[in-house]
Structure 1
C-alpha cells in the first residue's frame, strides 16, 4: 500500500508536524505501508512574508499530475491546509478518491494574532476543508470535543509519542550543558518556535528567580531578545544536544495557549523535567492528573511549584507515551477511513482555493 502524505511543513522546518510525520515514515513498513511525501521540495516555492522559514509551494496542477502519476498512491493523507494540501485535496475530490486529513495547527487563533480576521470565518474555512475527508485525525480528547462542537465530522484520535532513548535524564555525575555554564539557578526552559502564537513573551515577562532560557528560532526572536536582555536565547538545538538542555534544566515552562498538543511537553518529561503550563488544550491532555507538572492560570505560580515535582514521576509518565502506539493509531485510521469511505465531491467554491 503506497501512502502519499501531502504536507506543506517539512525540513528544514523544526516543528511537531515534521517530527510526527518523520516518526510515522519510520514505522510505516511495519504496518504494511510504503510512504511517499509531497512537500515544498517538490515545487518551486516562495518564503512566507514575515516568516521566511516557511516555504509556500507553487503547486501547479501540471506538476502535481506528473508527480502523482509517478508515485501512483493507493492511499492519501493530507497533513496540512497549505497550498500543497489544497491541491491534493482538490485532486482527490475530482477523482472521487478518499483521503484523510489531520488537524495540527490552530490557524484561526494564529491568524487572529496577526490580522483582524474573525475566528468564525477561519473555522468555517477549515471545517469545509476537513469535512470533505473520510476522516480527520486529532491529537487529544479536548481538541476532539472542541472541533466536534464547531461542526467538524469524522474525527479520529492520533496521539503523539516521544523517543525515550534519545530524550532521557542526565547520567549521574554528568556535567551541566556548556550553554548553562555560569547561569544562575534555577533554569526555566522554553523550547519551541519563537513566534507570537507561542506566547513566549508571557514566559519572558514572568518574575522568576534564576535564568530563563529560550531554545528555538522564529520571527520574534530578535524583538524578544532585545526586550529581555537577561534571558538566554540559544537558537535551534536538536537531537542529543537538545535532550541535554532539557535534562540540565530545572523546570519547563510552556506558555502557549493555542497548541493542539505540544510534543515538547513529552520531550521534557522524558528527560525528567517537570512542566509548568496554562490549563488549556494540550497541557490538559498531557499533564493533568499525572503529577508530572503544574497547570495554573497563574503561570508564575505554576513555574515555581514545578520545581518541587519529582523528576522520576515525569520520566515515568513519558514512558507511557510511545511512537509505536502513535503509529498504530495513525495507520489504523488511514486503513479504516479508506476502507469505509463514502465519496464527497468538491463544492464549486473550491475552484477558488489556493494550490
Structure 2
C-alpha cells in the first residue's frame, strides 16, 4: 500500500466540488488501505479570504510545509490547488527531485479576472507554469483537456468524478415541493458571480425557480429576483431531498470544469438543463435522454422537462467513486513511472 501526501488550499469549511471530490477520493483510497497525509489550511494559522470567509488562506512558510511532508516520507505527492500550500509543496517536490501530480479543478484565471483588473493571459501563464512543473496534471473532462492543451499545458490525464448513490437517489415527489408550485426548476451551488446565476434567475419559466446554496451574491440576487426561492445551503439528506423533488436541474455556469452537482441531480432523477460547455457537455455527451443542452437556456429547461427521471438516474449512476479513484491512483503512479500510459474516461 502507498503513502500519499495530498496538498490542497481548498478544504473544509468550503462547500464546493474540489472539497467533495477530495473527500470522496480520500475515503476510497483509505478503504483500499492506502495511508493518506493531508496538508490543508486548518493545520496552520489561517485567515478568511475577504468576501469568501469560508475560504481559509494558510499563513505558513516553506520550511513548515517541508517539515510536514518530510516527516511523512510519502511514496507519492499530489497537489490539488495553486494556492500558498500548493506552491510550497511544489517547491518541496522540485527541490527533492520528487515526481508529483497536480489537478486542474478551477478556472482560476477567469474567476480572478471577474473580480480584479488582471489579464487572463497573465494568470494563465502563472497557472500553466505551476502545473507544467509536475509529471501529471489531472483534468476531469475531454473538452477541458483539449482546451488546456491548446493553452500549452502538458502531461494531461483524465480524472473523472463519482456519486454517492446511497445518498442521492429518486424519491416519491410531492404535489407542491416545499410548498411551491410545480414544475420545480432547481439550481444548487455557490451563489457567486462565476456561477452565472442571473442567466437562470431571469428566465420566464412555469412553476418555481429555486436556488440551494449560499455565497456573497445571495442577498443582492434575492432582492433583484423576488420571484425566485432562495433556501440557503443544505447538506446530507436534506440536500438530497431538494434534488429528488426537482423536475429539472438547471446548471447555468459557463466556467466550471466539471460540475459535481450535475451528477448529484442526475442520480436523484432530475434531468439537467445547461449550456453546451465544458462540464455539462462532457457529462451528457451521447446521453441526450438525461437532459438538454442549448445556448438558449430557457429552451434547454423546457426540453429537459420532457425527459424522464429513470433515464436521468440511469446515466448519473454510471459515475462511481470506485472508478474515479482508480483513475486517480493510476495517475499518481504514472507520474512516478509506476503505471502504464493508459487513457480512460
TM-score with structure 2 setting the length: 0.94
Q: Which of 212, 215, 219 lines up with 2:212 in the alignment?
A: 215
Change (3 A) 1:334 1:176: farther
Partner of residue 260 from structure 1, selected from 251, 257, 268: 257
Partner of 2:342: none
Question: Does the CA-based 8 Å contact 1:8-1:39 persist in structure 2?
Answer: yes
Q: Which residue is equivalent to 2:343?
A: none
Match 1:318 to one of 284, 295, 316: 316
Deviations 1:294-319 (A, max 9, x none): 00000011111111101110011012
Change (3 A) 1:176 1:82: farther
With CA pairs under 8 Å and 6+ residues apart, which has the higher RCO, 1 or 2? Answer: 1
Kept after mapping to 2: 8 A contact 1:59/1:87: no
> Secondary structure of 1:93's match?
helix
- CA-based RMSD of the aligned residues comes to 1.5
What is the alpha-carbon distance in structure 1 between the residues aligned to residue 7 and residue 175 of structure 2? 41
Conserved 8 A contact 2:66-2:88: no
Runs of 5+ unmatched residues, structure 1? 342-355
Partner Cα separation in structure 2 for residue 181 and residue 136 of structure 1: 43
Partner in structure 2 of residue 351 of structure 1: none
Aligned counterpart, 2:296: 298
SS in 2 for 1:332: helix
Deviation for aligned residue 1:163:
1.1
User: 2-side partners of 1:5 and 1:238: how far apart?
Assistant: 25
SS of 2:114's equivalent? helix
1:301 aligned counterpart, secondary structure: helix
Give, in whole Å, the separation in 2 of the partners of 1:223 and 1:176: 30
Matched residue of 2:262: which SS?
helix
Q: Deviations over 1:149-188 (max 9, x none)?
A: 1110000110001111110000x4x6579xx332122111
- What displacement does 1:31 show? 4.7
Aligned pairs for 1:1-355 (under 5 A) are 1-29=2-30, 31=32, 33-170=34-171, 172=172, 175=174, 180-290=177-287, 291-339=289-337
Contact 2:5–2:37 (8 Å) recurs in 1: yes
Moved segments of 4+, more than 3 Å: 29-32, 174-177
How many angstroms does 1:110 deviate by?
A: 0.9
Asked whether the equivalents of residues 52 and 216 of structure 2 are also in contact (C-alpha less than 8 Å), the reply is yes
Q: Following the alignment from structure 1 to structure 2, what is the Cα–Cα distance between the partners of residues 299 and 308?
A: 15
Partner Cα distance (2:34, 2:319) in 1: 23
Number of aligned residues: 337
Contact 1:27–1:324 under 8 Å retained in 2: yes
Give unmatched runs, 5+ long, in structure 2: 340-345
Cα distance between partner residues in 2 of 1:41 and 1:119: 30
